[in-house]
């Protein structure tokens, strides 16, 4: 699948609820260490898509105009929510160790008791696209109140990540460039002969050539060095003598 993250948004919980459909998969968990809830919101169309993919059915845009999930979809929701919670736990590990306790699932935001409607929430959205399907969005919703105990850590992490990301990007780019494989060849010589002699060549014949100025060493067909043929530890080798 192709996964695309979006910048976090801050809204009231009521505003967020107004921006999504009435029928959704809403997974409520509690972050034990922060003593607050969080919400995973998944569109029913995506649930239908991954259910079909998981059980080998036809990928389609199902999940519309419904009010409940099938038993099969409920099972897939359990698997997906458990996997997402595990991924979130691992993602948080760099900042702090957290424990996510699932508290329940709802299909309507009216019954998803996360926070009061006027309270602010932070929405982290990810667009996920499976091959041959349209993209769907998964939202991770954190009440601002839940994150307040670690507000200073989050601010410092954002500032340090900004500089670290630049260094990391440069290091990754340098590593990628320096790891590019190059084809190296050694040109012994370029003798010439007549067509008549060439068609008379047979196994065992010797073709003489002049090696003037040493062997020409090419990198990706570009001459770089001249060198001398030799042997090192029983293997043929070339000693680099002069850069061209």
pTM summary value? 0.61
For 11-27, the pLDDT digits (tens) are: 999 999 999 998 999 99
Lowest mean pLDDT among 35-39, 115-119, 130-134, 159-163: 159-163
Please state the domain extents for the chain. 2-151, 184-243
Cα-Cα-Cα-Cα dihedral sign, residues 166, 139, 61, 48 = positive
**Which CATH number applies to 184-243?**
2.30.330.10
Q: Within 13 Å of residue 179, how many CA atoms lie on the same side as its CB?
A: 6
User: Which residues neighbour 117 within 8 Å (Cβ) at sequence distance 6 or greater?
Assistant: 12, 13, 14, 17
For 24-44, the pLDDT digits (tens) are: 999 999 999 999 999 999 999
CA–CA separation, 191 and 213 (whole Å): 15
| Highest-pLDDT range among 14-23, 48-57, 154-163 | 14-23
Mean pLDDT computed over 48-63 = 72
> Which of the four pLDDT bands, split at 50, 70 and 90, describes residue 63?
very low
Q: Within 13 Å of residue 13, how many CA atoms lie on the same side as its CB?
A: 20
For 164-207, the pLDDT digits (tens) are: 555 566 677 677 777 878 888 888 888 888 999 889 999 999 88
Q: Name the CATH superfamily for 2-151.
A: CheC-like (3.40.1550.10)
User: Which residues neighbour 62 within 8 Å (Cβ) at sequence distance 6 or greater?
Assistant: 45, 48, 49, 52
238 beta partners: 229
């Amino acid at each position: 699948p192709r996964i695309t993250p979006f910048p976090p948004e801050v809204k009231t919980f009521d505003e967020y609820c107004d921006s999504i459909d009435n029928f959704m998969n809403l997974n409520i968990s509690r972050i034990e260490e922060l003593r607050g809830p969080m919400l995973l919101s998944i569109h029913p169309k995506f649930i239908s898509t991954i259910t079909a993919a998981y059980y080998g059915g036809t990928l389609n845009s199902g999940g519309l105009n419904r009010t409940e999930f099938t038993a099969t979809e409920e099972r897939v929701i359990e698997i997906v929510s458990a996997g997402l919670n595990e991924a979130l736990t691992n993602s948080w590990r760099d900042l702090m160790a957290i424990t996510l306790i699932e508290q329940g699932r709802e299909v309507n935001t009216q019954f998803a008791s996360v926070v009061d409607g006027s309270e602010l929430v932070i929405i982290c959205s990810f667009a996920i696209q499976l091959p041959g399907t349209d993209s769907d969005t998964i939202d991770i919703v954190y009440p601002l109140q839940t994150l307040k105990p670690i507000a200073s850590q989050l601010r410092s992490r954002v500032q340090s990540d900004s500089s670290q990301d630049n260094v990391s990007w440069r290091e990754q780019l340098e590593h990628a460039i320096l790891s590019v494989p190059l084809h190296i060849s050694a040109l012994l010589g370029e003798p010439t002969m007549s067509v008549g002699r060439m068609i008379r060549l047979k196994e065992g014949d010797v073709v003489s050539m002049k090696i003037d100025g040493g062997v020409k060493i090419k990198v990706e067909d570009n001459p770089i060095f001249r060198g001398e043929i030799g042997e090192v530890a029983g293997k043929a080798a070339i000693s680099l003598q002069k850069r061209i």
